Chains A and B, each alone.
Chain A
């Protein structure tokens, strides 16, 4: 590969090279420490500043009584709707990419999926706003929020599904084929069940990520002080409540923002850590 390798390594000063090696090790170790400091600081501050806000009234009351009940309810509704739209489409896309994905069309879809996972979330918000809030329904709607979020969910679920299905050994497919089982039957009754662990892990992690998205719902559900009022009325959600309250300059609003942040981070991290602990390690690499 290189002819002048020995020129690169100054072979005469062994001690200096050992010393440089030590320095390099320490630098890399400090990188990881520097990256973990913000994480710990975030958790620490959210707990410290959020905990005083938490009480029953705060968790269940509506916005007029200083509670985040509507936000919690809204987040649950959004997750449900988004999941109902996004998960089936995502999983079937993943099935196609994994089981039939050797042609050019699939390569294109795979690339587009990859590109969509890095898509700016605010753009999805504009699209859902223009299509649904302005066009289809004519007012702010939880459906617009769910549509925007499922635009973001589908590519992630498709990707993790494809990766988990690829882990199912080909011998399973061949054995099914040898028994004369139809391909679609093999996929539904053999391949999907054996990849169950990976599918559930990947989907839940994707949902956890979507649950914290703010930009798309900022433009689509507006925020509200009241509990769910139907599909053509504004709704609240936790990330949105955090943002809106952080922009108010009163002590109470900010404490509430931290309280809502604590609830949100508990939901997201519980999903994350729980799923990771419950799942096999080999599924871990698919979750980026």
Chain B
């Protein structure tokens, strides 16, 4: 029997407060599940596989939004990962000591900019860059190819994906930076010792040693990209239902978060609100799976130790 000393009381109090994180997770899951019961009981599995979002006919399907989420996140990874890795490698292995800190400050500033400002910039600046320099030329010369078809407006999957790419750079770059710094010096020295150039050391030894950690960093970035709401909502064009079924990269579409943010308050019926909450539940499941995977990979590599007192 533990005695009721000040120490034990204190420990109990902080232990109970620490449970708050678990409570937040459980409450979120509970609210989303109970809130979406109605739409799942009406539409069943059709809610996930359905393409039409028609409140008038009470048919709700989130397939276009799921695909839109995957496509925008895919573009974000395709563009963001090479950039982030280049940045991490440059900062850890190549940059002169004097510019290392300023460069990492600048990259971290990217994480400090609020997402709504990314969205505003995306609407008024990036959209026109994408429209003038990517979409119009591609559409003019390769318009017969489904991916580049349609009328380019600048609002759509491509712009959303590119905004996400910029937004996930700081996440991926900072974790990969830690992973790359964690590569033991002896490995690098051995490689230099047999005459490898810096590029070869990084390519063949550093990146292969840190492979699983970098993979974890990428998954972490993917988690961010999937959950990002405002910036995407502002540039993706919000085409509801079957119209948002992705065919072309230039067409307006929908992601799960943008579907919710864009329409939540337009709900006319309880069933429709429930459908938005159901979309939230799908998003929750996807993001939990991805974040758990990332967490497992990153902690295993960086060997995060528990507690200050071992």
Contact = CB atoms under 8 A, between A and B. Distances in A.
Interface string B87-121: 10111001000000101111111111111111111
B174 A288 contact: yes
Interface stretch (A15-23, A58-66, A76-84): A15-23
Contacts of B107: 32, 35-36
A13 B32 CA distance: 61
A28 B89 CA distance: 7
A12 B125 CA distance: 49
Interface residues of A, number: 106
Nearest to B162: A38
Contacts, number: 304
Interface in B262-310: 264-265, 276-277, 280, 283-284, 287-288, 290-292, 294-295, 299, 304, 306-310
Interface residues of B, number: 108
A261 B290 CA distance: 32
B137 interface: no
A166 interface: yes
B308 A165 contact: yes
A272 B109 contact: yes
Contacts of B9: 184
B119 A30 contact: no
Contacts of B111: 209, 288
B112 A272 contact: yes
Interface in A157-214: 158, 165-166, 168, 170, 173, 182-185, 187, 208-209, 211-214
Contact of B21 (A8, A113, A126): A113
Interface in A244-283: 246, 254, 257-258, 261, 264-265, 268-269, 272, 276, 281
A96 interface: yes
Contact of B105 (A27, A112, A258, A276): A276
Secondary structure type dominating chain B contacts: helix
Given A31-B87, A120-B257, A184-B10, A288 B120 contact: no
Contact of A30 (B86, B166, B169, B229): B86
A214 B166 CA distance: 18
A281 B116 CA distance: 29
Interface stretch (B48-56, B144-152, B196-204): B196-204
Contact of B120 (A27, A158, A257): A257
Interface of B: 5-7, 9-11, 13-15, 17-22, 24-25, 27-28, 31-32, 35, 82-87, 89-91, 94, 101, 103-121, 123-126, 166, 169-171, 173-175, 178, 187, 194-200, 202-204, 220, 223-224, 226-230, 234, 257, 260-261, 264-265, 276-277, 280, 283-284, 287-288, 290-292, 294-295, 299, 304, 306-310
Given A122-B261, A272-B112, 16 more contacts: A29-B94, A35-B110, A36-B107, A97-B18, A102-B307, A106-B307, A109-B21, A111-B295, A115-B295, A123-B283, A155-B21, A215-B257, A218-B261, A242-B116, A265-B117, A268-B114
Interface of A: 1, 5-6, 8-9, 11, 17-18, 20-21, 23-25, 27-32, 34-36, 38-39, 41-42, 45-46, 49, 89, 92-93, 95-102, 105-116, 118-124, 126-127, 129-131, 151, 154-155, 158, 165-166, 168, 170, 173, 182-185, 187, 208-209, 211-215, 218-219, 239, 242-243, 246, 254, 257-258, 261, 264-265, 268-269, 272, 276, 281, 284-285, 287-288
23 contacts: A9-B195, A24-B198, A28-B90, A35-B84, A46-B121, A93-B21, A96-B18, A98-B307, A100-B307, A101-B307, A118-B291, A120-B284, A151-B24, A154-B21, A166-B308, A173-B309, A183-B10, A212-B113, A212-B115, A214-B114, A239-B114, A261-B116, A281-B101
